[in-house]
Structure 1
Amino acid sequence: MGHDHSHGAEANRRRLSIVIGIVSFVLVIEVVGAWLTGSLALLADAGHMFSDLAGLIIALIATIVASKPATDRQTYGYQRAEVFGALINGLILVGVAISVVISAILRLASGTAADVHGGPMLIVAIIGLIANIVALLMLRPAASNSINMRGAYLEVLGDALGSIAVIVAAVLILTTGFQQADSIASLIIAAMIAPRAFSLLRDVVRVLSESAPADTDVAQIRQHILETPGVVAVHDVHVWAITSGAHVFSAHVVVEPSVLTSGGAGRLLDDLGGCLSTHFDVDHSTFQLEPAEHAEHEDHSHA
């Protein structure tokens, strides 16, 4: 089933606008809380929250740009702006993870425990967790069909997990006086950020390098085409994505002579396009129909 990107982009903009307001509120609370409590974990979570806010703003801009119509210069439109937004988000996450690790290691290596006030730290972390859960519920419906929205969702998910780590650290400080729990919690936050950042960057690289989408089986597509009545062979098969959920396909299809002489080319094209749209979530497909004698002298340098 194909995705309605113009309608989806409008809904995504509404979700992002609401989440940006929530994240901005929590960021202010966490910065003030980190200053009042001396908590590195809260400061790390605030730093992560700041990167999320920047990333969410980038994601919002990307959805606005991506909704612009195609032109003679940008023939596929601007949907790939979402991918560049996800790229920036991933790089921001990597930078935050590195800075948090350095700060935590320096504090632990100094051997002197910081005087962290566990009570206010716990209250701020709980507020942050509640706000992040609300933001996650807003973003979750769009996270499965947009790489840009998935990046935003993952960032807020990391914030929620970070808030949980801060809550645990605050409870330990309050109950045991173990002040180093604050620095350890900040390292845990960094450890949660890094894998998600690299996963997002991996997906961005897959799109920008025009690799076949991870959920697409090219061999299976080829088999479906070959099983279509009137098809003799298929070559020069290409499958890639403009952005997440916007798959593109092209192929040269060798057909029986009767398909071209009897006027059946239009019906065959409808069958092939319908097959890809129904079974493989490909709405934009291009087929070059050709007789066997034409295919024989082509240089088949592709799949």
Structure 2
Amino acid sequence: MQRSNIEIPQAPSGCCYDDEATFFEDTKHRVASKNKLLVAIAICMVFMSGQIVGGIISNSLAIQTDAAHMLSDILSFAIYLFSLWASSWKATPRYTYGFFRIEILGALVSVLITWIVTGMLCYTAIDRIIHGTEGHDVQGWVMVLIGSLEVCLNIFLAPVCIQSAYIHMMGDLIQSIGVLIGGIVIWLKPKLRIIDFIFTFVFALLDLKTTLTMVRKIFGVLMQRVPHGIDSAVLGQDLCETVDGVDAVHQLHIRSLTSGKVILSLIQHVKQEYKISNVTVQVELSEDVNQGS
């Protein structure tokens, strides 16, 4: 192997832990997302309050479970909103990667709260099934009213949501339609109030599926898994073929600070070609590699 012909500029006298251009672009993205999230949180808070009141009045556990799902949405929006603010904190000598993972930690707390609330509602549903539903008559017309309002809400919020939350909002729409259908059935056939319990378990399973998807993403970030859509082998080969002076690439590590925020040990070529924001490079001369082998 020949010596790698790469010039490394001297570090500036003042040490900086953030790239100013990247920081400016992140700031514009934060402002745009913040406004959408504030609108979504305000509207969801109003409707969640209505769900809780409607669930108590109608004696419907399905509505209360749907309210728990709405609580999960609000917590997710609030945590992401907080993370947008926290990510504006510049990196420090102690926290050189910044504070992007606050979003991941907050998402984990949101999942735990959702599991606790949903578990309590499922326990109540099982208790009513075992000990009978006497004194727990479900008011179908209230379910129809709440379900109709929820469907309208989700249709309204669909264009407001950030792209990453769109699929989640579609899940909310499905649950709202379920409440509406269940309410119509119970309104027409009051003795079929068992449907309310069935929908409670169905909604709980949907919540579990949604949160498990979140847990997998959280686990991937914390375990520093290679981000989705990037093939490290192909990327390493591409570096050797396209970047002058690079003889070989070894110990290539790719990871996410948080959802959508990637860090990679590469050079400026990767910034442009793969749209990765932060780059860390460790250069070894060919003779150093040979001596170490």
Q: CA deviation at 1:137?
A: 2.5
User: Identity of paired residues, percent?
Assistant: 28
Conserved? CA contact 2:79–2:103, under 8 Å: no
RMSD: 2.2
Cα displacement string for residues 97-142 of structure 1 (whole angstroms, at most 9, x for unaligned residues): 322322222222233363111112201111122213323322233x
Conserved? CA contact 1:97–1:191, under 8 Å: no
SS of structure 1 residue aligned to 2:262: strand
Q: CA deviation at 1:155?
A: 5.6
Corresponding residue to 1:74 among 83, 95, 102: 95
Residues in 2 aligned to 1:283 and 1:49: alpha-carbon distance in whole angstroms: 33
Q: CA deviation at 1:158?
A: 4.1
What corresponds to 1:246 in structure 2? Answer: 261
Task: Confirm whether residue 26 of structure 1 aligns to residue 47 of structure 2.
Answer: yes
Q: Cα–Cα, structure 1 residues 73 and 56, in superposed 2: closer, same or farther, change >3 Å?
A: same
What corresponds to 2:17 in structure 1? Answer: none
Q: CA deviation at 1:38?
A: 1.4
- 1:85-124 to structure 2, matched below 5 A, reads 85-112=106-133, 114-124=136-146
Aligned length in residues: 268
Task: Confirm whether residue 281 of structure 1 aligns to residue 275 of structure 2.
Answer: yes
What corresponds to 1:170 in structure 2? Answer: 183
Give the letter for the 1:230 counterpart: G
TM-score norm. by structure 2 comes to 0.83
Q: CA deviation at 1:156?
A: 4.5
- 1:114-153 to structure 2, matched below 5 A, reads 114-141=136-163, 143=164, 150=165
Task: Confirm whether residue 161 of structure 1 aligns to residue 182 of structure 2.
Answer: no
Cα displacement string for residues 58-78 of structure 1 (whole angstroms, at most 9, x for unaligned residues): 222222111222222222222
SS of structure 1 residue aligned to 2:96: coil
Residues in 2 aligned to 1:129 and 1:77: alpha-carbon distance in whole angstroms: 39
Corresponding residue to 1:40 among 61, 66, 72: 61
- 1:181-196 to structure 2, matched below 5 A, reads 181-196=195-210
Residues in 2 aligned to 1:166 and 1:101: alpha-carbon distance in whole angstroms: 16
Residues in 2 aligned to 1:91 and 1:157: alpha-carbon distance in whole angstroms: 22
Q: CA deviation at 1:239?
A: 0.7
Structure 2 unaligned runs (5+)? 1-21
Residues in 1 aligned to 2:199 and 2:223: alpha-carbon distance in whole angstroms: 37
Q: Cα–Cα, structure 1 residues 102 and 156, in superposed 2: closer, same or farther, change >3 Å?
A: farther
Q: CA deviation at 1:220?
A: 0.9
Structure 1 unaligned runs (5+)? 144-149, 252-271
Q: CA deviation at 1:294?
A: 0.7
Corresponding residue to 2:216 among 196, 202, 209: 202
Conserved? CA contact 1:91–1:197, under 8 Å: no
Give the letter for the 2:263 counterpart: V
Higher strand share: 1
SS of structure 1 residue aligned to 2:100: coil
Cα displacement string for residues 255-278 of structure 1 (whole angstroms, at most 9, x for unaligned residues): xxxxxxxxxxxxxxxxx422x224
Conserved? CA contact 2:71–2:114, under 8 Å: no
Runs of 4+ with >6 A deviation: none
Residues in 2 aligned to 1:135 and 1:111: alpha-carbon distance in whole angstroms: 38
Residues in 2 aligned to 1:284 and 1:183: alpha-carbon distance in whole angstroms: 49
Q: CA deviation at 1:184?
A: 0.8
Residues in 2 aligned to 1:9 and 1:217: alpha-carbon distance in whole angstroms: 29
SS of structure 1 residue aligned to 2:253: strand
Corresponding residue to 1:292 among 280, 286, 290: 286
TM-score norm. by structure 1 comes to 0.81
